[in-house]
Amino acid sequence: MARDLNRVFLIGRLGTEPEMRYTPQGTAVTQFRFAVNRRARQDGAHDVREETDWFTVIGWQKLAEIMAQYLHKGARIYLEGRLQTRSWQDQSGQRRYATEVVASDMIMLDTRQAGGERVEDLDDSSAPF
């Protein structure tokens, strides 16, 4: 029997600063907006224009803490995760939907840290491992 697959792979940049909070049970959750650019050509046109797709990204537990600590607006990252759709009723009683990327893995692609130091320039004494 064939299995279904819900997997997302994205490379792009943070459009907002990561916001971390904790659930009432104490679980860390981080959320941010994520922009992915793509080139598009209109039918019959020779001009290629760049379009941006925006996603809301959610990270949980240890990944959420890492995202909040090391990521910043404009950072370029690779994300792996799955799509999740939530629904709720707004104040007027209308049903609303939001589709989000629930991150399971992340790789930071920038060669600079938030403080401006190049990662390659750090000496071994400051490495956390």
Q: What is the pLDDT of residues 91-110, one digit of tens each?
A: 999 999 999 999 999 999 98
As a whole number, mean pLDDT of residues 13-39 equals 96
As a whole number, mean pLDDT of residues 62-82 equals 96
Triad 5, 33, 14: Cα angle to 5°:
100
Task: Read off the pLDDT band of 128 (50, 70, 90).
Answer: very low
Domains in the chain and their CATH numbers? Answer: 8-40+49-113 (2.40.50.140)
As a whole number, mean pLDDT of residues 26-52 equals 88
pTM of the model: 0.77
